[in-house]
């Protein structure tokens, strides 16, 4: 028998009132932000809040002319919003799993569609890859985050982190690549043949190539450009 009383159901699903860190995972798919000031989050990610909180979409020139131009060049599709005030804010993104990472004067690069939120004070910038790489990767863009503070990223299902070692490059599907260490700069790797142009290739002709020393995080899911744009406009 799987039925339980309403009271027991509410009790079993209640929030953790003892949580007081800035970012807390209420469950694998829901991020709680204990807000006292300001954080940045993906537009459309708020599912609930308590307290006195104001949400403001990022202005076109708020982060400077250079970042605005990069967004225009890369076709960036995920907008950011500010959550300011005091209270609790709950964030989620289409049932994707949430991972909270603590930066300690270091850097990571995140697929723009997989960035959920980050602490105010963390520095961010849009990384410029080759234009053709952006098109072949489904029009997705990347965000470099650096400094000290919390960053929340999302993935479809449980992610996998692969170590990148000198002389042992790692090749990944761009649509399954979530994040990587900030010291790595992936290059576009193609394995094109005559069969590819005839539509008889393996479908795995375009990859990202990671060389050096670091890590790259993958999800067991290939996010298409249509899904990415849908998520950005949620």
215 pLDDT above the threshold of 60: yes
Mean pLDDT of 87-111: 97
Beta bridge partners of 117: 41, 152
**Beta-carbon count within 10 A of 231 CB:** 20
pLDDT of 103 strictly over 80: yes
User: How many Å apart are CA 223 and CA 7, to the nearest integer?
Assistant: 39
Going by DSSP bridges, is the β-strand pair 206-210/214-218 parallel, antiparallel, or unpaired?
unpaired
Q: Is the pLDDT of residue 230 over 70?
A: no
Question: pLDDT tens digits, residue range 26-39?
Answer: 999 999 999 999 99
- What pLDDT score does 74 carry? 41
Question: Does 25 or 112 have the greater pLDDT score?
Answer: 25
- Our CA angle for 137, 113, 33, nearest 5°, is 165
Q: What is the mean pLDDT of residues 193-203?
A: 48
Give the confidence band of 129 by pLDDT, cuts at 50, 70, 90: low
pLDDT of 214 reads 97
| Distance from chain centroid for Cα 105 | 19
**What is the reported pLDDT for 79?**
78
CA neighbor of 231 nearest in space, from 97, 96, 131, 119: 96
- Pairing assessment for the beta strands 23-27 and 30-42 based on DSSP bridges: antiparallel
Tell me the fold of 18-232: Double-stranded beta-helix (3.60.160)
CA gyration radius, the chain: 19
Q: Name every residue whose Cβ is closer than 8 Å to that of residue 45 and which is 6 or more positions away in sequence.
A: 91, 92, 93, 116, 117, 234
* Per-residue model confidence (pLDDT) at position 229: 53
The model's pLDDT over 34-86, given as tens digits with 9 standing for 90+, comes to 999 999 999 999 999 999 999 998 755 455 544 544 454 444 445 789 999 99
How high does pLDDT run on average in the chain? 82
């Amino acid at each position: 028998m799987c039925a339980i009383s309403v009271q027991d159901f509410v009790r079993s699903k209640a929030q953790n009132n003892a949580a007081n860190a800035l970012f807390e995972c209420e469950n694998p798919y829901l991020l709680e932000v204990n807000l006292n000031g300001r954080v940045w989050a993906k537009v459309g990610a708020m599912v609930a809040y308590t307290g006195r909180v104001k949400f403001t979409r990022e202005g076109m020139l708020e982060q400077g002319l250079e970042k605005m131009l990069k967004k225009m060049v890369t076709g960036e599709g995920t907008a950011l919003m500010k959550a300011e005030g005091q209270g609790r804010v709950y964030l989620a993104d289409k049932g994707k799993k949430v991972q909270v990472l603590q930066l300690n004067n270091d850097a990571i690069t995140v697929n723009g569609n997989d960035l959920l939120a980050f602490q105010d004070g963390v520095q961010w910038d849009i990384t410029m890859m080759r234009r053709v790489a952006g098109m072949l990767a489904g029009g997705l863009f990347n965000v470099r985050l650096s400094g000290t503070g919390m960053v929340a990223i999302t993935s479809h299902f449980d992610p996998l982190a692969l170590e990148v070692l000198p002389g042992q490059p790692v090749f990944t599907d761009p649509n399954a690549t979530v994040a990587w260490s900030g010291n790595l700069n992936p290059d576009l790797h193609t394995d094109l043949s005559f069969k590819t142009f005839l539509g008889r290739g393996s479908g795995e002709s375009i990859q990202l190539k990671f060389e050096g020393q670091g890590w790259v995080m993958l999800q067991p899911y290939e996010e298409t450009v249509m899904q990415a744009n849908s998520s950005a406009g949620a």
